[in-house]
A and B are shown apart, each in its own frame.
Chain A
Amino acid sequence: MTDLLKTKNLNVRFKSRGESIHAVKDLSFRLSGDEVLGIVGESGSGKSQTVLSIMGLLESNGSASGSAIFADKELIGLSNSELNQIRGNEIAMIFQDPMSSLNPYITIGKQMSGVLKRHTKMSKHEIKERCIEMLDSVGISKPHERYDGYSFELSGGMRQRVMIASALLTNPKLLIADEPTTALDVTVQEKILDLILDVKDRFKKSVIMITHDLGVVARTCDRVLVMKDGELQESGDTEAIFYSPNAAYTKELLEKSKEINLDDQQKYTERQETSIKNSLVKSSKAKVSFMLPKKTLFAANNVLTAVNEISMEAIDGEVLGIVGESGSGKSTLAKTILGLQKLTSGQVEVFGEKLTEINKKELKEIRKKMQVVFQDPFSSLNPRMTVFEILKEPLDSFFPSMTKESAQKDIEDSLMEVGLTSDYLGRYPHELSGGQCQRVAIARALMPKPQLLICDEAVSALDASIRGEIIDLLLRIKSEKKLTMIFIAHDLAVVRKICDRVIVMQSGKIVEQGPTEKVFFEPEKEYTANLLSAVPVPDPRKEKEKYIQRTQAD
């Protein structure tokens, strides 16, 4: 079979502040027609830059050299207008964030037809027909109405469907998907990945799938390239890479992803049953609802109930996981426990105090025992404060009588505890990497020596290997300090690894709760079972079985 795309010694370099960064080093690979090629690597591995260089979409300070031959045409060195003939027409791209790749001011129909107007000589009517046909073929219901609608009326999964539909409009030979499902919930991710495979079979396309998630690779790809620091580590058939990897880095990646593999029946930590069950947090019929803006002056109040009569408790010494898809109300629940969000009705007791009945001073006393780590490491640190100032702040407010020397010592100790040296004290958050920022955020949460730590998606924004480090850090701190943790996440594998007990939430309600092993291996509710099977596992054979089951069920 002839190669659709063939690169030889592809190099990408960036110039930034006088330094030259070699982002992709001597990369050679080939892609035949009608296959799915996966490119795996962590952020900074050069996987996205590789395809951007092929598309001629590098930032202005980047340059590509070497050769990339697509359908007998050399792409490197083509002028912009020549590339425009190929981009969109023969190669189409699907990006990670469907929110920002669709313009909210223009109707979906207008955005889609723009591509056709540029590349074909179809009449207006034909263009519309074609767009609606494509929308229909990617599984969008009522395509006629959607054609005149706007992107903000759609959910994330629907937007990604629209992106796929517009990528297919010109009938390109190659589809490049750059982390197409990273921003989506697992059940939506499953549907989108199935759609990409389905489209590939129906329309006979080649697909390049860029991802950091080995599960996604196992589910979708025929062949894989593993990249690290711009260099190719290994390439080969998916099964060969997964079952008999050669490169050390591939083994490491697989090991890490297996560590939190859902299918593994082995228990990771010995769960100890504590005899004394002392609940630190207890909510009874807690309800939080928000008023939505009225559409017209006399319309009835629109109420969104984010947390709907939830009764739960967190027991001293346990790690309680709260899982659910976006919009399930899990973060709102956390904010309510922290006293950052007012209850609409019901009651939450924290350390035996009823949250609706305490004053500011008492709330401050409770917060001393209860701290939080947030999701986004960059927005959870004030960019105008140094690490020292950030860590000192809780000390100032909780222990105003503390001497300077002992504060300094406390700060250095806690920084050491999270694996950073005192060199970092004078730095600002923008000089730290995501993982380092998250360590600082954890150190800040530990400053008042709390008994309860709430982690709100604390590791979701991090790369896989750093995520592992932070999870290990959290577990170590938890056992050293005998903390109770409430761990909120949408990533089931992480929850599976560290939690003793799990609560599964859906649209503000508890679907199921119980010990982790029980919920994960003998789920009682269908919702939980679906959620679990939607997680892609880094095992191509199992994934294939699941795919066949799913397609036969339809």
Chain B
Amino acid sequence: MTIKKIDLHAELIETGVEQVLIDLDKSLIGLEPVKTRIRETAALLLVEKAREKIGLAHETPTLHMSFSGNPGTGKTTVALRMAELLHRLGYVRKGHLVTVTRDDLVGQYIGHTAPKTKEVLKKAMGGVLFIDEAYYLYRPENERDYGQEAIEILLQVMENNRDDLVVILAGYKNRMNTFFESNPGFRSRIAHHIEFPDYSTPELLDIGSSMLDQLNYHFTKAAKNAFIEYINLRKEQPHFANARSIRNALDRVRLRQANRLFKENNGLVDAEKLSTLEEADIRESRVFSGGIDN
């Protein structure tokens, strides 16, 4: 028996993909190009499913991806969502995310790399393997480096066990490009190259506010303005890591607030005092006097 008509929208809701996409929109600030790409991918996969049901020619699309962008732009977070999305769509069986770096794949002596890489790949089967800073795998300056061996095994499994796992490579943009140039095998096996843009100041402020919300803190009006100023100054400094820098900055602000509370109130505080971050807490930062925060 063949089915003649399929309601794509019903399918979208039934699989729970719609819910994941809505969550993605709500919980991730900015990242418009990324969201668009994920929507497109989800649509493609749903259409493939529908084609399969109706009996048209279909082929499991290659789902390996590369995420490139500066630090703190949400690559890992999106990878987690991606795993869930692919699980809902039925393209991975379990939908877990295994995050690894070079250390987890490459061994220390001859014969150590292959079992190590295979162990990681086996763990990731049925889910998504996320290789952070993937370019460290390839070290052209040392021809005896075992990274090449790990790359070969990865490529082999990416090709032969396409139904079993999805590999996502992540890292800084220009270094990823060099990595792909020197490993053409990777480039051709990865269908989706997704770029993560840097956040704008309002987006960073939104991110900061939502982090504070989760922790039951809030800014005073003056503090908010000071924080915008802080973000603008901090962005110009080296080692700015987008959302991660914001989180670190907020951690330090909370530290200073705690310190202030001890000094000024003889130990008497209420809920309001405990959750308010004031301008002074932010202004104390080294960034305002030309120093560098992490």
**B and A form one assembly:** no
B contacts, CB < 8 Å to A: none
